[in-house]
Structure 1
Amino acid sequence: MKYVFILLFSCFSFISFSQNKLSAQSRVSLVTIAPGTELYSFFGHTLIRVYDPDTGLDRAYSYGTFDFQTENFYWKFLKGTLPYSLSYNQMSDVLNYYAQYENRTLREQVLALNEQQRNQVFQLLETNYLPENRYYQYKFFYDNCATRIRDIFEKTAPGVYPWEKLQQLKGLSYRDWMNRYLPENSWVTFGMNLALGFPSDVKASASQACYLPDNLEIATAQGTFQNKKIVEASLTLFEAQPNSPVGFDPLGPVPVLMVISGLLLLLSTRFSHEKALLYGLDIALFFIYGLLGMLIFFLATATDHEVMAYNISCLFLWPINFPLVFWFAKNPNQSLWKKYIRIAFWVAIIAALIAAYFYWGLFLIALPLIIRFFFLSQFYSK
């Protein structure tokens, strides 16, 4: 009986291995999906296609999948502890979804990998798909759908990417690359830049710039292995119809913050004698900015989002300004509060100028606070 069990086990193992082995006619491709119009799709997407006509296999493996049904989903998302995973779907379903429902271009690069390398890619994906391996902690800049695929190709074909020669992928920071995909006059753009700290302003190497699917596609097109181009064919699986151009949003952050700053400047100069009006205005202003400052401070200090650490914005969105406003706005001439206001003004303007060096919109966010600090520290103390 023992020998029968061993024989059966060996047969099942052989069958399982055979089912997970690609034929000589198989191919492995990098598929790049163009950016879409929704926030989650702004940066595009990338996946690995494994196609084997002998077995009918045609899978699209995708990193960066998450489940909305995860317990405490929003809290884990905010904390940076939401588990992401590897998943796969039939390529026909993927093509239909992005073509018919999202109208996003799909481009395929068929890779000139030998049979052993194709099987290595396939086995790596299958191993990563095991329940004990498929979940990981997603990092937008460091560990996402594109960087994981980059690492698989580098492991399968060492030296495939000529990083030193990819000059077009050098010279920009993580933040700079991100902003290339974001609309200028957008609350999302301002919010994302506000939340990022100094780690996002590190200059990304060519390899690190491949956290973006488009950059990984560019690097792959230049890749070589054993003096041969790694891409043997480039195909467009679907060409999206052009979207209607987005007009200027009058309710976007640029006009709204400019109007708020202008009104504060006007009210501060024309109604300096209306102490009650300006006191109420300061309470409202510092309450809103105080809550925002608390959120940014929380993201910078109490989450697993490394790129949000060391955030200069915390200095002009200083959280304790909100509770203290009840005193310094009502008594701006008292010696203690006069010193506090003047220090807060200079800290805010210096921090805003530093932040603006990395992203100009951050100064615009700080401008209403700077205006009120200026008048509280200079105008009313005369």
Structure 2
Amino acid sequence: MKYLYVLFLSCLMSSTWAQNSLSSQSRVSLVTIAPGTELYSYFGHTLIRVYDPATGLDRAYSYGTFDFQTENFYLKFLKGTLPYSLSYNNMSDVLNYYSQYENRTLREQVLALSDAQRNQIFQALEKNYLPENRYYQYKFFYDNCATRIRDIFAQAAPGAYPWDKMTRLEGLSYRDWMNRYLPTTAWVTFGMNMALGLPSDVKANASQSCYLPDNLEIATAQASFNNQKLVEASLTLFESQPNPMTGFDPFGPLPVLLTLSLVLVFLSLRFSHKKGLLFGLDIALFLIYGLFGMLIFFLATATDHEVMSYNVSCLILWPIHFPLVFWFARNTTGGFWLKYVRVAFLVAFIASLITGYLFYGLFIIALPILIRLFFLSRFYSK
């Protein structure tokens, strides 16, 4: 009886997979969506399109979907434990959304695959879409909408991607690739770089750089299988209208932080005899930097974001500066607190040089705190 049940179940599963098989008229495509103007869209997006005119199937499969209604959404997002999933929509709906609502270019690469390869990809997607399989822990650099599709294509066409020959996609770190897609002088750029730790500065090889949709598109264009180009046709589904260029932002990080640094130098020199004024200034400054330091330390040590671990920025934004500022900002004539400030300045200065080399903006962020630590250390009076 047990054998008959297993046989029946196997026949049922085989029948289900047969119904899910694609016809010889089908095609599988990589669809790359250009970066948008909102933070969530800065890096672009990528989809697998499965089209079968024989059955009327035209689906766009997307990894990286999440639900705002998830319990404790913000806490899970902050800790890196928010579940992401595979989803699909009709391609017509996807095209309408990105073209009409987000004004983002969509490019399609139709893949030259055999019937067996197309069915392998389709069935892998369908299996991944099952409730018990569709959720996974998203990793921006390592496991995202593009890397999952890269792996699916590599499994369907083994050896198609000549990674060792794709020199165009080598030589940059994960952080460097990320910064190519961020506004040069924006708070979000400075903040994201401040939050990243040393793992983000590892040089990414060609395969790893395909965490970015544009790079996966480039790699797929160079791929070949059985002496035939993997891409048999490239199409532009929608060409976006250019967005107006943004001008100089007087409230951006560069003007704000540099102005603040100049003001701190002036006040430190001009009112060095008015300890009360400078004490209040130090309380405010080290409170802000201390709170940011606590956040960075939390991200580096208490979350599942591996790329935020070993963060040198913690040596600039010492979380313990607040509330210790109430003591070290008032007692700098000698003794323990003067030694504390001098050590803090030297450590922060070295750390700012290291982080500034990784991203120049991190040195700019460090300037205000370095200036006050320098004057509190009394190095200038020697």
Change (3 A) 1:323 1:6: closer
State yes or no: 1:348 paired with 2:348: yes
Whole-Å separation in 2 of the counterparts to 1:73 and 1:313: 27
Amino acid at match of 2:99: A
SS at match of 1:268: helix
Match of residue 293 from structure 1: 293
Q: Indicate yes or no: 2:170 matched with 1:207.
A: no
1:30 equivalenced with 2:40 (yes/no) = no
- 1:332/1:380 contact within 8 Å kept: no
Alignment of 1:301-316 (within 5 A): 301-316=301-316
- For residues 331 and 359 of structure 1, the distance between their equivalents in structure 2, rounded to whole angstroms, comes to 34
Aligned residue for 2:171, secondary structure, equals coil
* Residue deviations 1:186-212 (CA, integer Å, cap 9, x gap): 110000000000000000000000000
Is the contact between residue 355 and residue 362 of structure 1 (CA under 8 Å) also seen in structure 2? Answer: yes
- Partners of 2:64 and 2:151 lie apart in 1 by 15
Please give the alpha-carbon distance, in whole angstroms, between the structure 1 residues aligned to 2:114 and 2:300: 46
Q: 1:258 maps to what in 2? A: 258
Task: Name stretches of at least 5 consecutive residues in structure 2 with no aligned partner.
Answer: none
Shift in Å, 1:9 = 6.8
Note closer, same or farther for the CA distance 1:282–1:293 as it changes in structure 2 (3 Å cut): same
Deviation at 1:246, TM superposition (A): 1.2
Partners in 1 of 2:238 and 2:278 — Cα distance?
Answer: 58
How far, CA to CA, are the matches of 1:241 and 1:91 in structure 2? 21
TM-score (norm 1): 0.97
AA at the equivalent of 1:349: F
List structure 1 segments (4+ residues) > 2 angstroms apart after TM superposition: 4-19, 379-382
TM superposition score normalised by structure 2? 0.97
- Alpha-carbon distance change, 226 to 273 in structure 1, aligned in 2, over 3 angstroms: same
Task: Look up the match of 1:332.
Answer: 332
- Give the secondary-structure state (helix, strand or coil) at the position aligned to 1:60: strand
Note the C-alpha offset of 1:334: 2.7
CA apart distance, 1:52: 0.2
Please show how residues 1-382 of structure 1 align to structure 2 within 5 Å: 13=13, 15-378=15-378
CA distance in 2, matches of 1:86, 1:283: 48
Q: Count the aligned residue pairs.
A: 382
Letter in 2 for 1:192: M
Q: CA deviation at 1:293?
A: 0.1
Q: Give the partner amino acid of 2:362.
A: L
Letter in 2 for 1:103: N
Equivalent AA in structure 2 for residue 338 of structure 1 = L
8 Å CA contact retained: 2:17, 2:123: no
1:160 and 1:254 map into 2 onto residues whose CA distance is: 45
Counterpart of 1:181, as a letter, is Y
Deviation at 1:274, TM superposition (A): 1.2
In the alignment, is the contact (CA less than 8 A) between 2:374 and 2:380 conserved in 1? no
Sort the Cα spacing of 1:11 and 1:353 in 2 relative to 1 into closer, same or farther, 3 A. Answer: closer
SS of 1:339's equivalent in the other structure is helix
Counterpart Cα distance in 2 of 1:41 and 1:156: 28
For the 8 Å contact 1:33–1:104, the answer to whether it is kept is yes
Shift of 1:12: 5.3
Distance across 2 between alignment mates of 1:294 and 1:213: 33
Tell me which amino acid in the other structure corresponds to 1:37.
Answer: T
- Deviation of 1:16 after TM superposition, in Å, equals 2.3
| Pair 208,10 (structure 1): closer, same or farther in 2 beyond 3 Å | closer
Q: Distance in 2 between matches of 1:56 and 1:257?
A: 57
The answer (yes or no) to whether the contact 1:333–1:381 under 8 Å persists in 2 is no
Query: Amino acid of the residue matched to residue 265 of structure 2?
Result: L
Deviations along 1:328-377, one digit per CA (max 9) or x if unpaired, are: 11111131111111111100100000000100000000000000001011
Q: 1:368 is matched by which residue type in structure 2?
A: P
Aligned-partner Cα distance in 1 for 2:315–2:273: 30
RMSD (CA atoms) = 1.9
Alignment partners' CA distance in 2, 1:6 and 1:156: 29
Does the Cα contact within 8 Å between 2:160 and 2:224 map onto a contact in 1?
yes
Following the alignment from structure 1 to structure 2, what is the Cα–Cα distance between the partners of residues 177 and 6?
50
Partner deviation per Cα, 1:155-212 (whole Å, 9 max, x = no partner): 0000110101101100000000000000011110000000000000000000000000
Tell me, in whole angstroms, the C-alpha distance in 2 between the residues paired with 1:322 and 1:9: 64
SS of the residue 1:108 aligns to: strand
What 5-or-longer segments of structure 1 have no aligned partner?
none
Do the aligned residues in 2 keep the contact of 1:121 with 1:152 (CA within 8 Å)?
A: yes
Asked if the contact 1:185–1:248 (Cα under 8 Å) also holds between the matched residues in 2, the reply is no
Contact kept, 8 Å, 2:315 with 2:348, in 1: the verdict is: yes
Within 2, Cα distance between the matches of 1:5 and 1:342?
77
Equivalent position SS for 2:267: helix
Q: Which amino acid aligns with 2:357?
A: Y
Instruction: Answer whether contact 2:197 2:300 (CA < 8 A) is retained.
Output: yes
Query: How far apart, in 1, do the equivalents of 2:308 and 2:10 lie?
Result: 52
The DSSP-based 3-state class of the residue aligned with 2:31 is strand
**C-alpha separation between the residues in 2 aligned to 1:107 and 1:271?**
60
Q: Which amino acid aligns with 2:189?
A: T
6 and 166 in structure 1: CA distance in 2 versus 1, 3 angstrom threshold:
closer
